[in-house]
């Protein structure tokens, strides 16, 4: 058990990579604190974790809302006393050629994929700093390393996640906190299955990965297994271009 007595917040935990991560971290002994917008879908994940003998709790929160995040983190601290791990996973993609993309959509995609990560870290980091301990894993994308056509806002926001990880990771290192990012290639989730670009992405012959494979990377970065790793990016995209 790598995460005995640890608490782990996972955003976007109702499905896909977030759900697989919650199951993985709970399987290693962590209390999985599941964050999402709908209680019923979060509850289903909580039940699944508990059926397997793990510990979980649900917190309904739209991670775009700074005030709601503050209330949620206060509630978590009140109930669990500490936050050991934060996985910023919630994200969206909207695929529109740049020339056709309304500025409002560009802003929406950047807000959801980049600003939410900043907001969560703003609220959680003071609690980690107080205890001089913590590990944050931010989910980027292969599109952060090499911009994906028709995904300019998504790629730019995810590149922002990588740089935010590096900059803040360097700042909080003396406080005993590690922050790392994962850039997955295509992963078999609703987000990817609904993507108009999925055939294009796979056309070069690369692989489609399972959410559990990304969850393995999250476990590595969240746990002491990666004690010598800070402000780094774990690229999990096989030989895919994105």
Q: Which spans of this chain sit near ligand NAD (rule: CB under 6 A)? A: 11-12, 14-18, 36-37, 62-64, 89-92, 112, 139, 141, 184, 186-187, 189-192
Least distance in Å: CB of 14 to ligand NAD? 4
Q: Which is nearer to ligand NAD, 4 or 199 (CB)?
A: 199
Residues 6+ away with beta carbon under 8 Å from 76: 7, 9, 33, 59, 83
Question: In whole angstroms, what is the distance from residue 223 CA to residue 160 CA?
Answer: 24
Q: How far apart are CA 113 and CA 157, in angstroms?
A: 6
Nearer to ligand NAD, 3 or 90 (CB): 90
Among this protein's residues, is 154 annotated catalytic? yes
Which residue of the set 59, 106, 154, 209 is catalytic? 154
What minimum distance in Å lies between the beta carbon of 4 and ligand NAD?
26
Q: 15 and 48 in contact (C-beta within 8 Å)?
A: no
Q: CB burial class (10 A; 0-12, 13-18, 19+) of residue 204? A: exposed
Report the distance separating Cα 81 and Cα 218, nearest Å: 23
Q: Which is nearer to ligand NAD, 120 or 172 (CB)?
A: 120
Catalytic residue numbers, as ranges: 154
């Amino acid at each position: 058990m790598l995460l005995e007595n640890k608490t782990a917040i996972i955003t976007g935990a109702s499905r896909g990579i977030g759900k697989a991560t919650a199951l993985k971290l709970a399987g290693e002994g962590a209390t999985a604190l599941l964050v999402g917008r709908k209680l019923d879908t979060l509850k289903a994940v909580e039940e699944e974790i508990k059926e397997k003998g793990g510990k979980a709790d649900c917190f309904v929160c739209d991670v775009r809302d700074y005030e709601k995040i503050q209330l949620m983190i206060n509630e978590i601290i009140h109930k669990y006393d500490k936050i050991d791990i934060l996985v910023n996973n919630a994200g969206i993609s909207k695929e529109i050629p740049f020339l056709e993309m309304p500025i409002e959509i560009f802003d929406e995609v950047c807000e959801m994929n980049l600003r939410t990560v900043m907001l969560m870290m703003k609220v959680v980091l003071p609690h980690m700093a107080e205890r001089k301990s913590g590990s944050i894993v931010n989910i980027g994308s292969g599109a952060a390393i090499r911009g994906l056509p028709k995904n300019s806002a998504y790629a730019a926001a995810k590149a922002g996640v990588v740089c935010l990880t590096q900059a803040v990771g360097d700042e909080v290192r003396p406080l005993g906190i590690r922050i790392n990012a994962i850039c997955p290639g295509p992963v078999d989730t609703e987000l990817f299955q609904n993507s108009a670009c999925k055939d294009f992405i796979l056309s070069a012959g690369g692989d489609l990965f399972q959410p559990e494979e990304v969850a393995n990377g999250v476990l590595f970065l969240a746990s002491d297994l990666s004690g010598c790793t800070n402000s780094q990016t774990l690229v999990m995209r096989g030989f895919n271009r994105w």
